[in-house]
Chains A and B, each alone.
Chain A
Amino acid sequence: MIYYTLWRIQESAFKKKIEMKAGLKQTIKDQFWNKLISKPHLAVILAYITVAICAPLLAGRDPLIIKTSGEWKFPGFSTDKYFRYSEDSLILKKSADWKNMQAEFILFPLVPYDPNESDMINYNYLSPFDTNKMIAGDGSTVIAPLRFKHWLGTDKAGRDVLSGLIHGTRTTLLVGFLSMIIALVIGLITGTIAGYFGDKTLKTGMWKIAVLLLSALAAWYYIMIVPEHQPKHVLQDINFIWKFLLIIFIIAFISAIIHHATKFKTGIRQTYIPADIIISRSTELFQSVPRMILILAIAAIMKPGLSSIIIIIGITSWVKISRLFRAEILSLKNKAYIDVCKSMGMSDYRIILRHILPNSYKPAFTAFIFGIAATVMIETGLSFLGIGTDPERASWGILLFNGKENFGAWWLVIFPGLAISALILALNGVIKNKNGRGSRDSIINNF
């Protein structure tokens, strides 16, 4: 009988667990999928992401599949410089005349042009309605078949606009996602520390701070200064950012060692770390300079390129996320369930990771999406001004800039602009509008 009762209890507990799990799934479905996400906007964003991922398949100079002398080859997918046409002839891919190549089977990408490739005949602002020409195999100029048409025209140098748009999607989304991830990580850490610990919670021994400061100075000296003065140093050619991350890693390592070594010691004189003051004042410092000026100044320091743009946008947009998290956590901190957690003796890290952050996913998610929308605008604006861009890389802003030089070429202005606006519109609308805390309207005003 007793066994039977125990078994029943166990069974009911098990059932409850299953129910709870199903409940969680249901909650996610209800709260997140049905109430928060707007499906049409999500579809647009997914379409952009698909284009970005498949960009090399959609637009490129080299054919995807070609069959010559009985063999199937995939020049579009390989990174070789040469293409083996037959057993005894190698062709440089760059100078290959794919359009007139004798092949048993050939499949081009949807747009058979590279974004930076100049079309030697269809240059000087070919409009989408003009007839496209091409050089036939015997050297005569003929009207190009539809497969080789520039569907959205070309710019002054004869670069295909559609191909640039497709590859530009990749650049823009890459910059948007990666820079917002950087911003989210920095903002989340600083905002959580400032909001949860405040000024009078974090306690530590004075000497620990002194040791950490000294080790930070020493790490700075040996990693930043010594390589400059010593020829052939291991760290000579490494980027500043990586050196900086290395220093942070070393300091974290030392502090972890100190923490574990002195875990059981008591009676050390302790002092408060005013985390909130430090972080709030530094966010204020960051916000006191207009963002565009800050971006321009940092862009002047770094070498132009994609990674620089990502880092610049990332490190200038953490401030708002940090403030948002601070406010969010300040409001969650005094809830009753957190007091319960504390009374059960949970550590701060457990409370933050398991109970506070999961409950603030909504503003985090919303801020992330709006941050991407803002980043898209900044990235295209920067490449429009010609700041920090890699000329080799296609970008919507560069296309627009080319359009500004000749207003007769309306296709260079309309299409990239539409692409940018539609993406931003989709990103701004993907989170359904609701009133209340963490809703779209209360956060969109921050961006």
Chain B
Amino acid sequence: MRKYVFRRILFFPISLLALAIASFILLKAIPGNPAELKLIREADVSRSDHQTDQVALTMLEEKYGLNLPLFYFEVVPSENNIWIPSVNFHVDNQFHRWFFGDGFNNAGIIRGDFGISYATAQPVSQLISSRIWWSVLLALFSVLLAYFLSIPIGLKSAASPGSVFDKSSNTLLTILYSIPSFWFATLLLMLFANPEFLSIFPASGVKPLGGMENDSMLDRITAILPYLVLPTITYTYSSLAFISRTVRISILDILRLDFIQTARAKGLEEDKVLRRHAFRNALLPVITIFSGVFPAAIGGSVIIESIFSIPGMGLTIYQSIDARDYPVIMAVFIITGLITMTGYLISDILYALADPRISFQKEN
């Protein structure tokens, strides 16, 4: 047991390092020079001096360290014979600067500094913390709403499998499950944010334009709320089908077991059997889904956020990949990876603690 946990923890930093290197290589393989893209974006149309552009490009590249070699070593053909490889070593390189910092304005990710965004020139951690708020809010709120709605549905349909309610709810949820979220979102926008039809909710954004600093907290909330209705519905409906299905299946699995028979045999009401005995034991897989919420929130939902123009993580990632804004994307890779892997680690160790057979199996 101790050996298993120790080995599991030992692998953790290795996995993280592998993730860091893999994401670095993956992102550096994307063609396109971020400095050049930045210059093109900020280009003054009237200025067409090629010389100045070249100077500006070189300066930017030096500032970001893009002129440095990528990794500690590179394999190139030697000068006189192309068939013989030679290895060049570089102490100062892009990976080193990103990972360990460059000594003056970047501390490196190993000290928790993700660098400065190329596109917005603000620190990545600041950018992410300002953006992640909306993603987390929407994900958390919609998942809680989905649990709130789907657990009663799952309980009721598991209580009488094959009944009219069970069949109809199952059909409806299967249909809901099959509808792609982007279509659902577009339909919602077409129905409820359409000036030609019903214009109940605003079509995009998360808050009204113009300053809200002077308003009171209550005013702010009432102003923001209509913007969140349609995204929340979109986020909720697919997990609604998924969670109520999981609840139903896991309760049905539990209901077959002996201790339910015992509970019924001792004369307990069916309602109590369901709530006290079956539901509590069936909760584990349902809770497991919840652990997926946080990585999903950080990843955001690229499609939904871009439909509703929510300034969350999904939209940020989409824009950063478009602008080759490496520090932001790599930060997202590392943070989501760290959280997901920690979740795996904790759940593996907890499972091993709860069920000694697992670690025994793994050791033998």
Contact = CB atoms under 8 A, between A and B. Distances in A.
A272 interface: no
Interface in A212-262: 221-222, 225-226, 229-230
A346 interface: no
A221 B23 CA distance: 22
B186 A404 contact: yes
Interface stretch (A129-137, A150-158, A361-369, A376-384): A376-384
Interface residues of A, number: 47
B116 to A, nearest CB: 20
Given A226-B83, A421-B178, A301 B186 contact: no
A289 B196 contact: no
Interface stretch (B41-49, B117-125, B301-309): B301-309
Given A300-B30, A400-B182, A428-B174, A289 B77 contact: no
B346 to A, nearest CB: 13
B321 A421 contact: no
A78 interface: no
B333 to A, nearest CB: 6
Given A225-B75, A281-B11, A289 B333 contact: yes
Nearest to A424: B178
Contacts of A403: 186
A444 B15 CA distance: 28
A384 B249 CA distance: 34
Contact of A293 (B29, B242, B333): B333
A329 B189 CA distance: 46
Contacts of A425: 174-175, 178
A408 B194 CA distance: 8
Nearest to A281: B15
Interface string B94-136: 0000000000000000000000000000000000000000000
Contact of A421 (B27, B76, B180, B337): B180
A290 B294 CA distance: 11
B77 A229 contact: yes
A290 B186 contact: no
Contacts of A442: 249
B76 A284 contact: no
A47 interface: no
Interface in B19-52: 19, 22-23, 26-27, 29-32
B149 interface: no
B31 A301 contact: yes
A428 B177 contact: yes
Nearest to B249: A441
A297 interface: yes
A52 interface: no
A408 B197 CA distance: 9
A424 B182 CA distance: 14
Given A284-B344, A413-B186, A424 B75 contact: no
Nearest to B342: A288
Given A284-B344, A288-B336, A403-B186, A297 B321 contact: yes
Contacts of A266: none
Contacts of B189: 404, 407
A30 B85 CA distance: 61
A381 B303 contact: yes
B69 interface: no
A385 B31 CA distance: 20
A285 B76 CA distance: 29
Contact of B22 (A285, A287, A290, A404): A285
Nearest to B184: A417
Contact of B76 (A225, A385, A444, A445): A225
B30 A297 contact: yes
Contacts of A404: 186, 189, 307
B139 to A, nearest CB: 12
Given A417-B180, A420-B180, A429-B174, A445 B246 contact: yes
A37 B179 CA distance: 22
A377 B180 CA distance: 6
A430 to B, nearest CB: 12
Given A225-B76, A290-B299, A441-B245, A410 B190 contact: yes
Interface string B48-79: 00000000000000000000000000011100
Interface in B224-248: 242, 245-246
Interface in A46-67: none
A69 interface: no
A302 to B, nearest CB: 10
Contact of A408 (B15, B196, B299, B333): B196
A400 B175 contact: no
Contact of B306 (A385, A428, A435): A385
B4 interface: no
Contacts of B174: 425, 428-429
Nearest to A382: B303
Contacts of B15: 281, 284-285
Interface in B195-213: 196-197
The 5 closest A-B pairs by CB, nearest first: A290-B299, A417-B183, A425-B178, A288-B337, A288-B340
Interface of A: 221-222, 225-226, 229-230, 277, 281, 284-285, 287-290, 292-293, 296-298, 300-301, 373, 377, 380-381, 384-385, 400, 403-404, 407-408, 410, 413, 416-417, 420-421, 424-425, 428-429, 435, 441-442, 444-445
Interface of B: 11, 15, 18-19, 22-23, 26-27, 29-32, 75-77, 82-83, 85, 174-175, 177-183, 186-187, 189-190, 194, 196-197, 242, 245-246, 249, 252-253, 295-296, 298-299, 301-303, 306-307, 314, 317-318, 321-322, 324, 329, 332-333, 336-337, 340-341, 344
Given A288-B19, A413-B190, A444-B245, 17 more contacts: A221-B85, A222-B83, A225-B76, A229-B76, A230-B77, A281-B11, A284-B341, A288-B344, A289-B23, A292-B303, A293-B336, A380-B180, A385-B303, A404-B189, A407-B196, A424-B180, A441-B249
11 contacts: A225-B85, A230-B82, A284-B341, A284-B344, A287-B340, A289-B23, A290-B298, A301-B26, A381-B182, A407-B194, A413-B190
